[in-house]
Structure 1
Amino acid sequence: MSSLQIHSNDPSEGVVVVIVTYGDRRELLLQVLDALPGQGVDRVVVVDNGARWSVKEDLSADYGDFLDVVEMSANTGSAKGFATGIQRALNLGSGYIWLLDDDNRPRGDTLPLLREAYAAAAVNTPRDRLAVVAFRAQFNGDLAMGVATHRINPPVNSFHGFHVRDIPYKLWRRTPWGSPHVCGTLPATVRLDATPYSGLLFNRDLIEAIGLPNEDFVLYEDDIEFTHRITQKDGKILLLTNTQLDDIESSWWNVGSRFRNSFVGLLKGEGDFRAFYGMRNRTYFDSACLKRSAWIFWVNRTVYMIVLFVFATILHRKKRFGILRQAVKDGLSGRLGMHKRHPL
Structure 2
Amino acid sequence: MTKDSVCVVTVTYGDRWEFLEKVIKSVVSYHNVLEIIVIDNASKFKIEEKCKKISEKINVIRFERNMGSAIGFNKGIEIACKGNAEFIWLLDDDNMPEEEGVNYLVNNYRRIENEAGVNGGLALLSLREDRKEYVMSAEKGNAFPFFPKENSFLGVHFKDITYKVFKKITSYLKRNTVEKSSEKNLSTVKVPVAPYGGLFFQKDLIKEIGLPNKDFYLYADDHEFSYRITRFKKGIFLVPDSKIIDLEKSWFLAKNQGFLLSLIHSQSSFRIYYSVRNRIYFERKDLVTNKFIYNINKFLFLFILNSLSLIFKKKQRRELIISAIQDAESNNMGVNGLYTLE
Q: Give TM-score, length-normalised by structure 1.
A: 0.91
The alpha carbon displacement at 1:140 in A equals 3.0
**CA 197–177 in structure 1, closer or farther in 2 if over 3 Å, else same:** closer
Question: Partner letter of residue 310 of structure 2?
Answer: T
Is the contact made by 2:95 and 2:246 (CA closer than 8 Å) also made in structure 1?
A: yes
Within the candidate set 57, 61, 78, 1:87 is matched to 78
Q: Which residue of the partner structure matches residue 111 of structure 1?
A: 102
1:159 aligns with 2:158: no
Shift of 1:125: 5.5
Q: Does structure 1 retain, via aligned residues, the 8 Å contact 2:143–2:191?
A: no
Which residue identity lines up with residue 324 of structure 2 in the other structure?
Answer: A
Q: Deviations over 1:88-146 (max 9, x none)?
A: 11122211100000000000111101111111112235454210000001113563496
Tell me if structure 2 keeps the 8 A contact 1:330–1:336: yes
Aligned counterparts of 1:16 and 1:126: Cα–Cα separation in 2: 23
Q: Please give the alpha-carbon distance, in whole angstroms, between the structure 1 residues aligned to 2:239 and 2:305.
A: 34
Match of 1:338, SS state, is coil
2-side partners of 1:106 and 1:130: how far apart? 21
Against the structure 1 CA distance between its residues 209 and 315, is the aligned structure 2 distance closer, same or farther, given a 3 Å change threshold? same
Aligned to 1:207: 206
Q: Contact 1:130/1:235 (CA < 8 Å) preserved in 2?
A: yes
Q: What are the Cα deviations for residues 313-333 of structure 1, in whole angstroms up to 9, with x where unaligned?
A: 222222122111110111122
Q: Distance in 1 between matches of 2:123 and 2:294?
A: 29
Using the TM superposition, give the Cα deviation of residue 239 of structure 1 relative to its aligned residue in structure 2, in angstroms. Answer: 0.5
- Which string of whole-angstrom CA distances, capped at 9 and with x for unpartnered residues, describes residues 279-321 of structure 1? 0000011111110111100111111122122222222222122
8 Å CA contact 1:128, 1:207 repeated in 2: no
- 2:56 partner SS: helix
Change (3 A) 1:174 1:127: same
Contact 2:113–2:120 at 8 Å: present in 1 too?
no
- 1:35 Cα deviation from its structure 2 partner: 1.0
Between the aligned partners of 2:242 and 2:98, the Cα distance in structure 1 is 8
Q: In the alignment, which residue of structure 2 is the partner of 1:323? A: 320
User: Which stretches in structure 1 are left out of the alignment for 5+ residues?
Assistant: 1-9
Contact residue 70 and residue 213 of structure 2 kept, 8 A: yes
Q: What is the Cα deviation at residue 83 of structure 1? A: 0.6
Is the 1:50–1:73 Cα contact (8 Å) retained in structure 2?
A: yes
- Paired residues for 1:40-119 under 5 Å: 40=31, 41-60=33-52, 62-119=53-110
Query: Unmatched 5+ residue regions in structure 2?
Result: none
Amino acid at match of 1:312: S
Number of residue pairs aligned between Structure 1 and Structure 2: 332
For 1:242 and 1:149, the matched residues in 2 are separated by 17
Counterparts of 1:125 and 1:82, CA distance in 2: 30
Question: Are the equivalent residues in 2 in contact too, given 1:39–1:110 (CA < 8 A)?
Answer: no
1:252 and 2:251 matched: yes
Identical residues among aligned pairs (%): 31
Cα distance between partner residues in 2 of 1:137 and 1:160: 23
Contact 2:7 2:88 in 1 (8 A): yes
Alignment CA distance shift 1:302-1:179 (3 Å):
farther
CA distance in 2, matches of 1:228, 1:259: 25
Q: Which residue of structure 2 aligns with residue 173 of structure 1? A: 167
Mapped partners of 1:141, 1:295: distance in 2 = 27
Amino acid at match of 2:250: S
- Does the alignment pair 1:25 with 2:25? no
Match in the other structure for 1:5: none
One-letter amino acid of the structure 1 residue matched with residue 135 of structure 2: L
8 Å Cα contact 1:143-1:149 kept in structure 2 = no
Give the TM-score normalised by the residue count of structure 2.
0.91
Q: Over the residues paired in the alignment, what is the CA RMSD in angstroms?
A: 2.0
Pair 1:177–1:336, CA change in 2 (3 A): closer
Correspondence 1:290 to 2:287 = yes
Tell me the secondary structure at the aligned position of residue 42 of structure 1. strand
Separation in 1, partners of 2:298, 2:320: 16
AA in 2 matched with 1:43: E
Counterpart position of 1:135: 127
User: How far apart, CA to CA, are the structure 2 residues paired with 1:267 and 1:190?
Assistant: 33
- Deviation per residue, 1:21-42 (Å, 9 max, x gap): 0111110101111111333322
In the alignment, the residues of structure 2 paired with residue 292 and residue 153 of structure 1 have an alpha-carbon distance, to the nearest angstrom, of 16
